Amino acid sequence: MAEQRIWRLRKRHQTVDAEIHDHLTTVELRFLLNGTVSYSRMHPSRMAALSEAAVRRAELEREGWLFHW
């Protein structure tokens, strides 16, 4: 299982990471709040996982979260 962080956002002293974990036939999208998994969902493709991650990132940025690598 390969994993990859696709982005990190920061607000005050908190961080949110989006990670993709490739499995044999599916892709898992995980969101971590301060390093702890807070949401996880399986997707049929990498493109579908990246699409959901982009939507979630836009929502968080509207709430004041900023890009931080």
**How does pLDDT run across 12-52, given as a tens digit for each residue?**
999 999 999 999 899 999 999 999 999 999 999 999 999 99
- Confidence band for 1, pLDDT divided at 50, 70 and 90: low
Q: Is the pLDDT of residue 2 over 80?
A: no
Number of domains into which the chain is organized: 1
pLDDT reported for residue 28? 98
- What domain range is 8 assigned to? 2-67
Give whole-number Cα distances, 39 to 30, 49, 61, in Å: 6, 13, 18
